Amino acid sequence: MTEKILQFNNKKNIVWVLVFTAVILFAFYGYLIERTVLNVVERGRAEQALNTLGSKVGELEFQYITLKNKVNLDLAYTLGFKNVEKSAFISRKTPDILSLNSLR
């Protein structure tokens, strides 16, 4: 009777596959760490830009309020506006009942 002994000759190949997998995983981990650091830096820049824009908006609002407070009748007269002698207002009477007859 002949016996066959199974020999595991692929040990070298398995070790190389494991080493290659470990190197790939380590490189991917390094890439993820780099992206995280870059995102944190970019977030800091964005927050700084938002603060700058917020202060600019505050300054513009202050200028707007200052200019708005300068508008008065004297300025209107110098710009050519005149008083209206007769004013007419248009009002819309809402009907109590909605029907086609009330629209005519």
**pLDDT tens per residue across span 17-46:** 999 999 999 999 999 999 999 999 999 999
- Torsion angle, alpha carbons of 46, 48, 51, 55, to 10: -120
Mean pLDDT of 53-63: 96
Amino acid at 33: I
pTM of the model as a whole = 0.51
Mean pLDDT of 70-90: 87
In this predicted structure, the answer to whether residue 61 has a pLDDT above a threshold of 90 is: yes
